Amino acid sequence: MKYTQKKKPITSKNKKPLLIVGTVLLLLALGSLFYIRSRGQSPNQTPPVITQPDGEKIDLSPPTEEEKQAVDENKESISTEEKPQNQTPPPVSETVTPFITYAGQYDQNVEVAARISGVYEDNGTCKATFSKGSLSVTRQSKGFKDVRDTLCTPIVVPRSEFTAAGEWTVKVAYTSPSNSGVSEPKKINVE
């Protein structure tokens, strides 16, 4: 005849000692872990060292007081050195030649427009200078991107600002951060 022991049901009376034993074991494990971590490196232990593939050894132990002081002195010497002024070089400007597409008097206005071929940019400045002997009239407008070039917004000057009638010469200068140049002069008749 085989004897089998009947299992007793777990009751709250049986759970209490298990709970106490489990708690004590957990506290012992945590205490041991804390002790090991708080001990750190003992004086008899050798510092951790890594050997790189090229044979160079790197000491991973914390820095000594002398090493800390050397770093602080180096930081101070760097901060007190005279630093060069941050100078940006002037932008490189390409020489371009604006081409006057039309110029003349239309009713009571004198008008001029120009194109800068091979340049495709916005916000350049177009400056028209009309001259006749010692007389001159100057106006400017903005350049803007066209299909493949830059155009000057047409410059319109009232005829009344030209103090003399006759033949005047106009030139258009174009400037931007990356391009600059002056057109060939064009003659216009102001009536």
Question: Mind listing the pLDDT tens digit for each residue in 12-55?
Answer: 566 777 778 888 888 888 877 767 666 654 555 565 677 777 77
What pLDDT is recorded for position 31? 79
DSSP per-residue letters across 30-71: HHHHHHHHHH-S-TTSPPPEEE-TTS-EEE-SPPPHHHHHHH
Domain boundaries, the chain: 95-190
Q: To which residue do tokens 């000594």 refer?
A: 64
Cα torsion angle, 93, 177, 156, 132, sign: negative
What pLDDT is recorded for position 65? 87
d(CA 62, CA 83): 32
Q: Which amino acid does the sequence have at 75?
A: K
What pLDDT is recorded for position 96? 95
Please report, in tens digits, the pLDDT of each residue of the chain (191 residues total). Answer: 566 666 666 555 667 777 788 888 888 888 777 676 666 545 555 656 777 777 777 777 777 888 888 888 888 777 666 555 666 666 667 899 999 999 999 999 999 999 999 999 998 999 999 999 999 999 999 999 999 999 999 999 999 999 999 999 999 999 999 999 999 999 999 99
Cα torsion angle, 134, 137, 141, 145, sign: negative
Q: Which CATH number fits domain 95-190: 3.50.50.60, 1.10.10.10, 2.60.40.10, 3.30.465.10?
A: 2.60.40.10
- Across all residues in the chain, what is the average pLDDT? 84
What pLDDT is recorded for position 97? 95
- pTM exceeds 0.85: no
